[in-house]
Amino acid sequence: MTDFLPRTIAEAAQAIRDGSCSPLELTQIFLQRIRSLDDGINSFVLVDEAGAVDAARRLTDEARNGALRGPLHGIPLAIKDIIDVAGMATTANSHVTSRKPAEHDAPVVRQLRETGAVILGKVVTHEFAYAGPPADLPYGAARNPWDTRRDTGGSSSGSAAAVAAGLCLGALGTDTGGSIRNPVSYCGGVGIKPTWGLVDTSGIIPLAFSLDHCGPIASTVADCAIMLNAMANPDRGADKDFSSALGQPARNCRIGVLRSFYDYEGGASDEMRAALDAAAETFRYLGCTTVDIQLPDIRDFVACGRIIVLSEAYALHFEDLEATPRRFGRWTRDRIMAGRLLSAKDYIQAQRVRHGLRAAVENAFAQCDVILTASALGQAPLLEEDGNDAYWQTRYPTIAFNLTGHPALAMTCGFSGDGLPLGMQIVGRLGAEPFLFGIAQAYETATAWPNRAPMT
């Protein structure tokens, strides 16, 4: 099986079903790729070779006995290092955290194991899923497989890099202001921030509890749907099949193009704007209609989101910050300490504004079925160009949908002249992930972007 390298969960699952590759063989293929390639990418913090091989052996025996658990049976996955995995430390890429192994899996990890996933290990995150990638963090920065001089985006940096490099078939990420969608935009692939609350965030180190989401990153829309089927909170999404609309035509879908989130002076690059225009044209080719829609100024969303993130993050970390501030990375410390300047009045007012912004997005769905806009403003920057000042200066088009809780899927919509992915996001109604996956897959099938991969 040394020549077999599946690019998707669906392809690997078919090989396991027909017996052409066992879970053990598949796991060994990816462990070997990690050993061979990850020194240059730095996506993994910890590789649990023994645990992965033991699990794969058990799943191989089950497969031979015809006891397949589903499409994730034997599929190697990686877990962002703010999510608890039993027997592994949850470091959050910080000197502040204990290195004591977690006693239990986070519920979302437990659910993945129960459906047959093999956990390869933990992957790099920005510190506390907030700030990176400066050199003063314990595990450094993941590097972009398309060009290792470039940023991966964050904070689910290792998750997106590992999937893009073919070191695993899927990974868990988290998203408080765009931390799944931003790295997917820079590294390629597909990632979704589900409806808020759809995936249980217990056992995950919080950043801002009222904005935090957990979601999958994979190579294709179908793979993300497969993962979300296993990840959904039994109390919120157990009655849904997130793959149910895959393969359906996109005809008659109304695409709301949200230009104001990227088409302004100093906003998206010319290449990014052209790629989004081309994506809208592809949807029209598929039989959709497009309409320009308006929402409140993106600066309102960004300001509101930042006040909430800073307030909630400071409330979570203030004791460690006051006692041992120099144990934090300098970017994390500088950002979270800004929360000291905010009052309860600021936080409450931001939450009030948030309700109005959520209502504005809900009202926009009277004109359209999904919203199309940028998920990043251009290609991945060089690592030395990605300074902390950019956090305060950039109008991130992703945080809006953390505020409102709507599902938002990021995927590649083109490539830059430097050969780097460009990413868009498609936003759906609350709880409408199956429809969102169907529309996204129709676009994916109509383009050549999923056929391109970094030379790793």
Could you tell me the domains of the chain? 9-237 (3.90.1300.10), 254-451 (3.90.1300.10)
Residue 235: predicted pLDDT = 80
Question: What percent of the chain lies above the pLDDT cut of 70?
Answer: 97
Arithmetic mean of pLDDT, 277-288 = 98
Q: Which of 43, 156, 179, 375 is catalytic?
A: 179
What Å distances lie between residue 42 and 8, 84, 143, 285, CA to CA?
Answer: 22, 20, 6, 40
The sign of the CA dihedral 285, 287, 289, 290 is negative
**Is residue 389 predicted with pLDDT exceeding 90?**
no
Q: Is 80 a catalytic residue?
A: yes
Cα–Cα–Cα angle for 185, 190, 196, rounded to 5 degrees: 95
DSSP 87: T
Residue 411: predicted pLDDT = 98
pLDDT bracket for residue 391 (50, 70, 90): confident
Out of 76-80, 142-146, 329-333, which region has the weakest mean confidence (pLDDT)? 329-333
Mean pLDDT of the chain: 95
pLDDT, one tens digit per residue, over 49-64 is 999 999 999 999 999 9
Arithmetic mean of pLDDT, 374-386 = 90
Dihedral angle over CA of 280, 146, 135, 43, nearest 10: 100
DSSP 399: T
Q: Which of 43, 80, 243, 375 is catalytic?
A: 80
pLDDT, one tens digit per residue, over 258-281 is 999 999 999 999 999 999 999 999
Arithmetic mean of pLDDT, 184-190 = 98
The better pLDDT of the pair 456, 312 is held by 312
Residue 3: predicted pLDDT = 80
Quote the CA–CA distance of 426 and 218 in Å, as a whole number: 16
pLDDT, one tens digit per residue, over 212-242 is 999 999 999 999 999 999 999 988 755 689 9
pLDDT bracket for residue 13 (50, 70, 90): very high
Quote the CA–CA distance of 357 and 355 in Å, as a whole number: 5
Q: Is 157 a catalytic residue?
A: no
H/E stretch holding 272 reads helix 270-285
**Is residue 386 predicted with pLDDT exceeding 70?**
no
**Is residue 165 predicted with pLDDT exceeding 70?**
yes
pLDDT, one tens digit per residue, over 125-139 is 999 999 877 778 999
pLDDT bracket for residue 390 (50, 70, 90): confident
Q: Which of 22, 155, 243, 311 is catalytic?
A: 155
**Is residue 34 predicted with pLDDT exceeding 70?**
yes
- Based on the number of CB atoms within 10 Å of its own CB, is 66 exposed (0-12), middle (13-18) or buried (19 or more)? exposed
Q: Is 210 a catalytic residue?
A: no
Question: What percent of the chain lies above the pLDDT cut of 90?
Answer: 91
Residue 312: predicted pLDDT = 98
Residue position matching structure tokens 């759906």: 428
pLDDT bracket for residue 392 (50, 70, 90): confident
Arithmetic mean of pLDDT, 423-429 = 98
> pTM score, two decimals?
0.97
Arithmetic mean of pLDDT, 300-320 = 97
Q: Token pair for residue 187?
A: 């590294």
Arithmetic mean of pLDDT, 290-318 = 97
Are 221 and 437 in contact by the 8 Å Cβ rule? The answer is yes
Quote the CA–CA distance of 44 and 162 in Å, as a whole number: 8
- Short-list 49, 47, 48, 141, CA closest to 93: 141
H/E stretch holding 321 reads helix 298-323
